[in-house]
Amino acid sequence: MALNFVKTLFLSPEINPSNRKAKSIPVLNPFDQYGRVFFFSWLGFMVAFLSWYAFPPLLTVTIKQDLNMTQEDVANSNIIALLATLLVRFIAGPLCDRYGPRLVFVGLLLCGAIPTAMAGLVTGPNGLIALRFFVGILGGTFVPCQVWCTGFFDKKIVGTANSLAGGWGNAGGGITYFLMPAIYDSLVDRNLPSHKAWRIAYIIPFIIITATALCMLFLCEDTPTGKWSERHLWTKEATAVPPSDGAIIDLNTGTFSSGITTPHNNTALDLEKKGAQTPQILDKDATSQIDIFPETVLAPSRREALNVALSLSTMSVAIPYACSFGSELAINSILGSYYAKNFPHMGQTQTGQWAAMFGLLNVVFRPAGGLFGDLLYRATGNVWSKKLLITFLGVAMGAFQLAIGFANPMTEAGMFGLVAGLAFFLEASNGANFAVVPHVHPFANGVVSGIVGGFGNLGGIVFAIIFRYNGSSYGRSMWIIGVVSLVANLAVAWIRPIPKNQIGS
């Protein structure tokens, strides 16, 4: 068993013939197209997150003093950085459906790399706030990261694939707490003045982002079958797909042997048409709860995209993500300052290193959420199991936020222990959430991913505003966020994770 698992990390995966998606994740095989896409999915998001959060590690002391920034200026810059990402994520979803996630990914990386390199031109608080708005473009890369993975990995493992890519990518928020102070310290040790050292330090993220984007552009594929514009060509080769009940569907005519016929606009050719109608769903007994046509991404019309964005099923994953990822974003921005307030004997570098652990735990905790979701789905065959997992993790996350807020630990062991517990449930909730997203309106996966990802940033802005108006009373802000998280997760717990008339519901 263990040997077989290890082999899947290196060998080319078994492919589902009905959709050309991989049934395992070749994590350590970048020569295979599935392994290569997975590698650049998490790496691209990691370097984006690294640069997106490259300012907080040096804002605690160095940049704040050099630019004569107040605590309100620092908080405003954190909020502005999240605002840009919110806007970009809402736009990136539909763009992924139309042009493909790889090109959107590359475009966002290059657009965010330019303002990163311009950090040296900042001379005051307002300049930094404006710069961080444009650097915030990088946060939008999460949407193409998840859409790209969803297009290459089968639904039985897509939760694990998405959570691994998202978790390892999110770890960039922790790595930057080590990397940026280390770069800055090395420049200061070479007798470079402080006000020059921190500016030059931001050239490094620019180089890393640009190199990664170019590799993605020239070394990776849009889909398992090649170009995004040719994503439906596999249907011409597959004449039939047998569902588990033995019924046969002709993929060229859309006809089941059981006598049930899909509407003509579900054929491969019609799926290419702009504004094609939302795929009509067959009786679930005839399909044995197997998703067929809805897995094929099309470019939905504005009306269809709006219906998808505002559906209860989309909201049932978007709102919990606003609480979990929103909390992560807001806490990442202030954690170093929180530690510095409660433990003043720590300097900028040491508080930054301890704050980094919160982000670095994503390497394990976010994938754990996706893995648990996939295991529950395989055991039950029902997406409700994944949905209930999100609710459980979200409620536990809120409980830890309440504990930190009310206790406001003044001992290092107490503080770091509670933050680690919060990190597990918060980050696992993020992973479990995007184990459900591929099941919700899969024909418009980009729209759903964009809305859910955007809500994550919306939550981040709301929570950052809470921190902003509570100043250095970080404990009070934490318990307020905990109350919001508990109420929000319980409020949407009853909503079906998949629309009632969708295959697989």
* Predicted local confidence at residue 234, as pLDDT: 58
Residue 502 in any domain: the answer is no
Q: State yes or no: pLDDT of 253 exceeds 50.
A: no
432 and 291 in a single domain? The answer is no
476 and 385 in a single domain? The answer is yes
Residue 88 in any domain: the answer is yes
Residue 498 in any domain: the answer is no
Integer Rg of the chain from CA: 23
Tokens of 240: 């039939």
434 and 467 in a single domain? The answer is yes
Q: What share of the chain is helix, strand, coil (3-state, %, to 5)?
A: 70, 5, 25
* Alpha carbon separation from 475 to 23, 249, 323 (Å, rounded): 45, 58, 17
Total number of domains constituting the chain: 2
Residue 21: in which H helix or E strand, if any?
strand 21-22
368 and 281 in a single domain? The answer is no
Among 253, 270, 296, give the residue marking a domain's end: 296
400 and 330 in a single domain? The answer is yes
The position carrying tokens 């007994």 is: 285
Q: State yes or no: pLDDT of 235 exceeds 90.
A: no
Residue 354 in any domain: the answer is yes
C-alpha dihedral (417, 420, 425, 427), degrees to nearest 10? 170
* Predicted local confidence at residue 396, as pLDDT: 97
User: How far is residue 162's CA from residue 422's CA, in Å, rounded to a whole number?
Assistant: 21
Among 250, 277, 296, give the residue marking a domain's end: 296
Residue 36 in any domain: the answer is yes
310 and 392 in a single domain? The answer is yes
266 and 387 in a single domain? The answer is no
187 and 274 in a single domain? The answer is no
Where residue 332 sits, what CATH number does that domain have? 1.20.1250.20
185 and 323 in a single domain? The answer is yes
* Predicted local confidence at residue 313, as pLDDT: 92
Residue 122 in any domain: the answer is yes
User: How far is residue 312's CA from residue 493's CA, in Å, rounded to a whole number?
Assistant: 11
Among 296, 321, 349, give the residue marking a domain's end: 296
C-alpha dihedral (74, 77, 78, 82), degrees to nearest 10? 170
- In contact, 369 and 163? CB cutoff 8 Å: yes
User: How far is residue 463's CA from residue 481's CA, in Å, rounded to a whole number?
Assistant: 7
* Predicted local confidence at residue 502, as pLDDT: 64
289 and 413 in a single domain? The answer is no
What's the whole-model pTM score?
A: 0.77
Residue 438: in which H helix or E strand, if any?
none
115 and 61 in a single domain? The answer is yes
Q: State yes or no: pLDDT of 197 exceeds 80.
A: yes
Ranking 79-88, 295-304, 448-457 by mean pLDDT, the lowest is 295-304
Q: Sort residue 243 into left (φ over 0), alpha (ψ -120 to 50) or beta.
A: beta
* Predicted local confidence at residue 263, as pLDDT: 37
Between 250 and 47, where is the model more confident? 47
100 and 33 in a single domain? The answer is yes
Q: State yes or no: pLDDT of 33 exceeds 60.
A: yes
Residue 373 in any domain: the answer is yes
Residue 73 in any domain: the answer is yes
Expressed as residue numbers, the domain containing 346 is 2-227+306-491
* Predicted local confidence at residue 91, as pLDDT: 92
Q: What is the mean pLDDT of the chain?
A: 84
- In contact, 111 and 57? CB cutoff 8 Å: no
User: How far is residue 225's CA from residue 244's CA, in Å, rounded to a whole number?
Assistant: 25
Average pLDDT estimate for 364-384: 92
* Alpha carbon separation from 252 to 131, 256, 270, 291, 300 (Å, rounded): 51, 11, 11, 16, 21
